[in-house]
Amino acid sequence: MNDSKTGRSVKVGVVQMKMSGDPGENMQKALDMTHDATGKGADVVCLPELFRSRYFCQTEDAEFFELAEPIPGPGTEAFETVAAATGATLIVSLFEKRTAGLYHNTIAVIDGRKGYVGKYRKMHIPDDPRYYEKFYFTPGDLGFRTFPTEKANLGTLICWDQWYPEAARLTALQGAEILFYPTAIGWHPEEKDAVGAAQHQAWETMQRSHAVANGCFVVAVNRTGFEPDPASDGGLEFWGQSFIAAPDGHIIHKAPQDEECVFVEELSLGAVATMRHGWPFFRDRRIDAYSGITRRFIDSDE
State pLDDT tens for residues 183-222: 999 999 999 999 999 999 999 999 999 999 999 999 999 9
Mean pLDDT of the residues in the chain: 96
State pLDDT tens for residues 147-190: 999 899 999 999 999 999 999 999 999 999 999 999 999 999 99
Q: Annotated catalytic sites, by residue?
A: 49, 122, 159
Note the pLDDT of residue 123.
98
Spatial distance between the Cα atoms of 117 and 9, rounded to a whole number of angstroms: 22
Nearest to 90 by CA among 154, 144, 171: 154
CA torsion 210-215-216-220 (nearest 10°) is 20
Nearest to 216 by CA among 36, 1, 33, 34: 1
Q: Is the pLDDT of residue 5 over 60?
A: no
Note the pLDDT of residue 6.
55
Q: Is the pLDDT of residue 32 over 50?
A: yes
Note the pLDDT of residue 68.
98
Do residues 172 and 36 touch, judged by C-beta distance below 8 A?
no
- Catalogue the E-assigned strands of the chain: 9-16, 44-46, 89-99, 102-111, 116-121, 127-128, 131-132, 145-148, 153-156, 178-182, 186-187, 217-221, 224-228, 235-239, 243-245, 251-254, 261-268
Note the pLDDT of residue 251.
98
Q: Is 163 helix (H, G, I), strand (E, B) or coil?
A: helix
Q: Is the pLDDT of residue 1 over 80?
A: no
pTM of the predicted structure, to 2 decimals: 0.96
Do residues 171 and 157 touch, judged by C-beta distance below 8 A?
yes
285 compared with 4, residue with greater pLDDT: 285
Q: What is the CATH number of the domain that holds 172?
A: 3.60.110.10
Average pLDDT for residues 253-274, to the nearest whole number? 98
Quick check: is 239 in a domain? yes
State pLDDT tens for residues 221-263: 999 999 999 988 899 999 999 999 999 999 999 999 999 999 9
Q: Is the pLDDT of residue 59 over 50?
A: yes
Q: Is the pLDDT of residue 138 over 90?
A: yes
Q: Is the pLDDT of residue 2 over 70?
A: no
Quick check: is 67 in a domain? yes
Quick check: is 293 in a domain? no
Quick check: is 302 in a domain? no
Quick check: is 4 in a domain? no
Note the pLDDT of residue 232.
87
The structural domain count of the chain equals 1
Note the pLDDT of residue 160.
98
Quick check: is 25 in a domain? yes
Quick check: is 162 in a domain? yes
Quick check: is 184 in a domain? yes
Domain residues for the domain of 40 are: 9-285
Kindly give the interhelix angle for 165-172 and 197-214, rounded to the nearest 10 degrees: 30
Average pLDDT for residues 77-86, to the nearest whole number? 98
Note the pLDDT of residue 7.
78
Note the pLDDT of residue 302.
58
